[in-house]
Amino acid sequence: MTDDPRNIIEVSGLCNRFGDFVVHENLDLQVRQGEIIGVVGGSGSGKSVLMRSILALNKPQSGSIVVLGRNALSARARDRLYIERNTGVLFQNGALFSSLTVLENVLVPLKEHSTLPDRLMTELAMVKIQLAGLEPEAAFKFPAELSGGMRKRAGIARALAMDAPLLFLDEPTAGLDPISAAEFDRLILTIQKALQLTVFLITHDLDTLYTICDRVAVIADRKVLVNAPIGEVAAFDHPWIQEYFHGPRGRAAQSAQEKL
Amino acid sequence: MPIWLETIEPNLDIDPQHGTCLQATGDWTFQHADALVSLLREKRAGMDSMDARSINRIDATGSQLLMAFLRRQGIAGDQLAAKPEHLALIDAVLSASQSPPAAVQPAALTIRVLAGIGAFMEKAQANTLIFLAFLGQTLLSAMINIVRPKHWRITSVVFHMQAVGLNAVPLVMLLSFMIGAVIAFLGATVLSEFGAELWVVELVGVSFLREFGVMLTAILLAGRTASAFTAQIGSMKSGEELDAIKTMGLDPIELLVLPRIIALLLTMPLLAFLATMAGLLGGMAVCDWSLGISPEMFMSRLNSELSPRHIWIGLSKAPVFAAVIGLIGCLEGFKCKGNAQSVGEHTTSSVVQSISLVILLDALAAMFFMELDL
pLDDT per residue over B111-123, tens digit each?
999 999 999 999 9
Contact predicate A222/A173, CB 8 Å: no
Q: What is the mean pLDDT of residues B170-181?
A: 96
CATH of A1-86+167-260, one of 3.40.50.1820, 3.40.50.12590, 3.40.50.300, 3.90.1170.50: 3.40.50.300
Q: Does B97 touch chain A (CB under 8 A)?
A: yes
Amino acid in the structure at residue B211: E
Question: What is the identity of the amino acid at A20?
Answer: D
Q: For the purposes of burial, counting CB atoms within 10 Å of the CB of A92, is it exposed (0-12), middle (13-18) or buried (19 or more)?
A: middle
B56 versus B324: the higher-pLDDT residue is B324
Q: What is the distance between the alpha carbons of residues B188 and B200, in angstroms, rounded to a whole number?
A: 6
Q: What is the rounded distance in angstroms from the CA atom of residue B84 to the CA atom of residue B53?
A: 9
User: Using one digit for the tens of pLDDT, what is the confidence trace for A74-132?
Assistant: 778 888 888 888 888 888 877 888 778 898 888 888 888 778 888 888 888 888 888 88
Give contacts of A5 with chain B, Cβ < 8 Å: 1-3
- Note the helical H segments in chain B: 33-39, 60-73, 84-96, 109-146, 154-164, 169-192, 200-206, 213-221, 227-238, 241-247, 252, 258-286, 295-305, 309-335, 340-371
Q: At what angle do helices B213-221 and B169-192 cross, to 10 degrees?
A: 140
Tell me the chain A residues in contact with residue B41 when contact means C-beta distances shorter than 8 Å. none
Burial of B267 (0-12, 13-18, 19+ CB in 10 A): buried
Identify the closest residue of chain A to B56 by CA–CA distance: A195
Q: How many CB atoms lie within 10 A of CB A20?
A: 5
Q: Letter for the amino acid at B206?
A: V
Distance from CA of B52 to the nearest CA of A (A): 14
pLDDT at residue B132, rounded to an integer = 95
Mutation site for A-interface testing, chosen from B28, B56, B59, B86 by largest number of A Cβ within 10 Å: B59
Which residues in chain A have Cβ-Cβ distances shorter than 8 Å to B341?
98-99
Nearest CA distance, A229 vs chain B (angstrom): 22
pLDDT at B1: 34
Q: Chains A and B: how many Cβ contacts under 8 Å? A: 106
- Chain A residue closest to B3 (CA)? A6
pLDDT of residue A1: 42
Question: In CATH, what is the architecture of B3-96?
Answer: 2-Layer Sandwich (3.30)
Cα A108 from Cα A129, distance rounded (Å): 13
Contact A98 B340 (CB under 8 A): yes
**Which chain B residues have a beta carbon less than 8 Å from that of A86?**
4
Contacts of A187 (CB under 8 A, 6+ apart): A131, A132, A133, A156, B92
**Residues of chain A contacting B88 with CB distance shorter than 8 Å:** 190, 193-194
Nearest 5°: CA angle at B246, between B245 and B248? 70
CB nearest B338 (choices: A8, A86, A144): A144
Q: How many CB atoms within 10 Å of residue A241?
A: 21
Of A206, A143, A197, the C-alpha closest to A174 is A206
Structure confidence by residue, pLDDT tens digits, B79-134: 888 888 788 778 878 777 766 556 667 788 899 999 999 999 999 999 999 999 99
pLDDT per residue as tens digits for the range A189-245? 877 876 678 899 998 888 888 888 899 998 888 888 888 888 888 888 888 888 888
| Range 33-62 of B in CB contact (< 8 A) with A | 33-34, 37, 57-62
What pLDDT digit, counting tens, does each position of B221-264 carry?
Answer: 999 999 999 999 998 888 888 888 888 888 889 989 999 999 99
d(CA B228, CA B220): 12
**How would you write A118-153 as a 3-class SS string?**
HHHHHHHHHHHHHHCCCCHHHHHCCHHHCCHHHHHH
For residues B290-300, average pLDDT = 90
> Domain limits of chain A?
1-86+167-260, 94-163
Are B340 and A33 in contact (CB < 8 Å)? no
Partnered with residue A224 across adjacent β-strands are A219
- Indicate the residue of B89, B101, B338 with minimum beta-carbon distance to A194: B89
**CA B363/CA B28 separation, integer angstroms:** 70
Q: Which residues pair with A14 in a beta bridge?
A: A27
The Cα–Cα gap between B349 and B358 comes to: 14
| Pairwise pLDDT comparison (A77 vs B359), residue with the higher score | B359
Examine the pLDDT at B43 and tell me if it is beyond 80.
Answer: no
Nearest 10 degrees: CA dihedral of B282, B284, B289, B291? Answer: 120
Q: Indicate the burial class of B308 (C-beta count within 10 angstroms; 0-12, 13-18, 19 or more).
A: exposed
Test mutation, B30, B85, B87, B91, chain A, max A CBs within 10 A: B30
Residue A201's DSSP bridge partners are A38, A169
- For residues A136-162, average pLDDT: 84
Residue ranges covered by each domain of chain B: 3-96, 140-371
Measured between alpha carbons, how far is A56 from A11 in angstroms, rounded to an integer? 12
**Average pLDDT for chain A:** 83
Q: A244: which strand partners?
A: none
Instruction: Pick the closest to residue B59 from A36, A194, A111 (CA basis).
Output: A194
Of residues B247, B230, B263, the one with CA closest to residue B351: B230
The answer to whether the CB atoms of B1 and A5 lie below 8 A apart is: yes
Q: Does the distance separating the beta carbons of B4 and A191 come in below 8 Å? A: no
| Cβ atoms B311, B369 nearer than 8 A | no
Minimum-distance CB partner of B101 among A136, A162, A196:
A136
Instruction: Name every chain A residue with its beta carbon within 8 A of the beta carbon of B336.
Output: none
Q: How far is A104 from chain B (nearest CA, A)?
A: 14
Closest CA to B217 of B119, B303, B321, B141: B321
In angstroms, what CA-CA distances link A25 with A1, A39, A50, A198, B136?
20, 17, 11, 25, 58
Q: What would the mean pLDDT of B1-19 be, rounded to a whole number? A: 70
Residue B15 pLDDT exceeds 70? yes
Contacting residues of B for A114, CB less than 8 Å apart: 30, 33-34
Closest-CA distance of chain A to residue B311, Å: 47
Q: What is the ipTM, given to two decimal places?
A: 0.71
A162 vs B5: CB contact, 8 Å cut-off?
A: no
Are the CB atoms for B56 and B29 separated by under 8 Å? no
Where do the H-state alpha helices sit in B103-148?
Answer: 109-146
| Yes or no, beta carbons of B2 and A8 under 8 Å apart | yes
B101 contact residues in A (CB cutoff 8 A): 126, 136-137, 139-140
Q: Is B96 on the interface with A (CB under 8 A)?
A: yes
Q: Which residues of B touch A139 (CB under 8 A)?
A: 101
Mean pLDDT within B31-39: 84
Q: How far is CA A63 from the centre of its chain?
A: 21
pLDDT value at position A194?
67
Q: Which residues contact B51 (CB under 8 A, 6 or more apart)?
A: B15, B21, B22, B23, B24, B81
Which of B7, B31, B34, B86 to mutate: most A Cβ within 10 Å?
B31
What digits encode the pLDDT tens for the residues B183-231?
999 998 898 888 888 889 999 999 999 999 999 999 999 999 999 999 9
Inform me whether the C-beta atom of residue B103 falls under 8 Å from chain A C-beta atoms: no
CA distance A123 to A110: 11
Mean of pLDDT over chain B: 88
